[in-house]
Amino acid sequence: MHAPLAPSQPASLRDDDLAACRALLAAGSKSFFAASWLLPKRCLDGATVLYAFCRIADDLVDEAHGGEEAVAELRARLDGVYGSALCTDPIDRSLALIVRRHGMPRALFDALIEGFAWDAQGRRYETISEVRAYGARVAGTVGALMTLLMGPRDEETLARACDLGVAMQLTNIARDIGTDARNDRVYLPLTWLRDARIDVDTLTTSPEPSPALGMLTLQLLQEADRLYARSEIGVARLPEDCRPSIRAARLVYAAIGDVIRKNGFDSVTRRASTSLFRKLVLLARSFFRLRGEVPVPPQPALAETRFLVEAVLAEPLVLPEYGR
């Protein structure tokens, strides 16, 4: 159960705190920023706060190169957010209101921080399941948090939101193979690389496009497409005023995969991106279910995201007595 707000804690989001959160959103993810245009007002401020906390957490752990001190600092900040003492940081103060209002379990944020720590430590992953487990932490958590922000907290909708988050992360990995390799980061499953006879050290010291690497990029995009298809029924279960924004995010990220395909699966010398015009087209398209888009029937949560769904189901929503 959530602790009550401290007596001195503001009962609604402060304008100056929200402005600090908005500044981080505008300077961050262009795809997320574009999709946020379509969020209903009742969700937009909360989504901005969530993004701001994710951004500062990612930056803090990354700058500390995965150091335990950074992780400890973030966990201490969460102690404040979920405790009864007054938060003094504008991001934390805003988050404290949002997590209580929407019954967001701390376990989701702990998993997010764990994923950032894995990222900064340069962890590598043997199997596609381990890559999905990483995606569950850095992106599936965000899918679950956004779902709670919009209202639903049932198992099916949460599982599909996590599918969408992991699919987006796999798309990011496919897009950034070259950039990551030049930074000594490898997210492709090591078993795939060995089977394709691609040497990891060669990939990181002198990355070059090749048919073998292109095939692995295709394989990763196919896994992302499978999860995008699974997620579609979850979008349809969201409140009607929220569907365009989430469908827009899905379409914009899936379009990155289309560009990678057009680039001949070369994510080493070319970085796929969608133009502003293409984003605007996809934003408009998000208001309609497309002909031929048939949702995949309900399926269990991914094994790698099940713990996120269970964390929400284990925590009942207690509606607070305060405003926006």
Supply the pLDDT for residue 1: 46
* Arithmetic mean of pLDDT over the chain: 85
Supply the pLDDT for residue 119: 87
| CATH code of domain 15-313 | 1.10.600.10
Looking at residue 261, its amino acid is R
Q: Is the four-CA dihedral 323, 113, 87, 64 of positive or negative sign?
A: negative
Alpha-carbon 179 to chain mean position: 19
pTM: 0.88
**pLDDT of 50 over the 70 cut:** yes
CA dihedral defined by 151, 155, 160, 162, rounded to 10 degrees?
80
Supply the pLDDT for residue 319: 54
Q: Is the four-CA dihedral 22, 150, 302, 223 of positive or negative sign?
A: negative
**Could you give the CA distance from residue 50 to residue 71 in angstroms, rounded to a whole number?**
18
Are the beta carbons of 312 and 144 closer than 8 angstroms? yes
Residue 323 pLDDT class (50, 70, 90 cuts): very low
- Mention every residue, 6+ apart, whose C-beta is less than 8 A from residue 4: 84
**Could you give the CA distance from residue 17 to residue 80 in angstroms, rounded to a whole number?**
16
Closest listed residue to residue 274, CA positions, set 284, 260, 288: 260
- What 8-state DSSP symbol labels residue 194? H
More reliable by pLDDT, 273 or 72: 72
Q: Which two tokens stand for residue 200?
A: 């990891």
**Could you give the CA distance from residue 33 to residue 5 in angstroms, rounded to a whole number?**
30
User: How crowded is the C-beta side of 25, counted as CA atoms within 13 Å?
Assistant: 22
**pLDDT of 273 over the 60 cut:** yes
Are the beta carbons of 126 and 189 closer than 8 angstroms? yes
Supply the pLDDT for residue 84: 74
Supply the pLDDT for residue 28: 61
Q: What is the mean pLDDT of residues 245-250?
A: 88
Question: What pLDDT, in 10s, does the model give residues 280-301?
Answer: 555 555 555 544 455 677 789 9
Q: What is the mean pLDDT of residues 149-178?
A: 96
Using a 10 angstrom Cβ sphere, with 0-12 exposed, 13-18 middle and 19 or more buried, the burial of residue 297 is exposed
Q: What is the mean pLDDT of residues 265-277?
A: 78
Q: Which two tokens stand for residue 154?
A: 């049932």
Q: Which two tokens stand for residue 314?
A: 């284990």
